Structure 1
Amino acid sequence: MDTATPQDAEELIYRDAVEADVPALVELIESAYRGESSRSGWTTEADLLKGQRTDPEGVRQVIAAEGSRLLTVRRGGETIACCQLERRGGAAYFGMFAVRPGLQGGGLGRRIIAEAERLVREDWGVREMHMTVISVREELIAWYERRGYRRTGRMTPFPYGDERFGVPQRDDLRFELLVKELEATPPAR
């Protein structure tokens, strides 16, 4: 599936990831969350977690999973963002969201999450989007709250000891569930 934004906006191409995208997606996700490159954006987890954020096998699993899609966002022939969408009963899960660090803070993330919400509403008929965010990421949670997500207070433990998710630098990490009710039809702009 390829869709583009209106001509008056910066052209973004959205499409489902394929096997050939795996190396670029791993690099993108790692650059947005870990290591020195992530510090040029505002979504870095570099002070919370060391090590990897994902690996090729993890990305392949998301691409291949039933009821899941890894949406890539391209501009000018380059993959600049991605997000995971997974159908979970009457809701959709939003995860693995990454925007190239040098492009963060300019409204691109807001456009992508709006498109993801539109897709799950129209393609899957779901009326609720779920995500989990590390609970100490107050600035990131505030950003999602401005997009209409609400904190639930429902926490799940961080997978300490499983280095596939990184090496924690703190002992108080856990995930909080954020939820947004999706409108039946988008509001007029």
Structure 2
Amino acid sequence: MCDNDSATTPLSLARIAPGIAAADVDVSPAHHLGDRVAGRGAEGSADLLVVGRIATGDPAAPTAEAMAISGGRIIGLGSAADLDGLTGPATQTVAPDGVVIPGLIEPHAHVWISLLTLDWTDVSHVACPRFDDVVATLKAAAAAAPAGEYLLAKRFDPSLYPASPTSPATSSTARSTGPSSY
């Protein structure tokens, strides 16, 4: 960790400090270190400069304008002017759309499981705004499925439909007749 004063709030510092300590790296604003920034590119500059809206995780300064990266590590975060000394002729600059969230790791793998269910019948509230639409969608998919094959559907949430005599929320006769998945 750095010893100098920074804009990091105690809450965010308490949340990220253990991870930084475990990684055994020094984290300081780039303009505070001058030429002492470790891990700079071959010409003494960042390999990559990301310009745009960057989420910092710091409630006091939730976004930054630019982020400098060298050797796969973030070496600077702040305004483009703050990071000017970290760029050089070999620095590649990118300006992605949307918000960049550095270091975001999605640990519970919705992405890969979603890939496995791409061809399943969508019975979400968006695709089927009424419960009767869910039933009609499942009937149409069952009619199109090969005989003896399971019908696989995804994203059904009964809590999004009002109670009615035919909805699962009020039906005491609703039963599952085969494998299901969300």
Structure 1 length-normalised TM: 0.26
> Normalized per residue, which structure has more strand?
1
- Which structure has more RCO (C-alpha within 8 Å, separation ≥ 6)? 1
Larger Rg over CA atoms: 2
> Normalized per residue, which structure has more helix?
1
Structure 2 length-normalised TM: 0.27
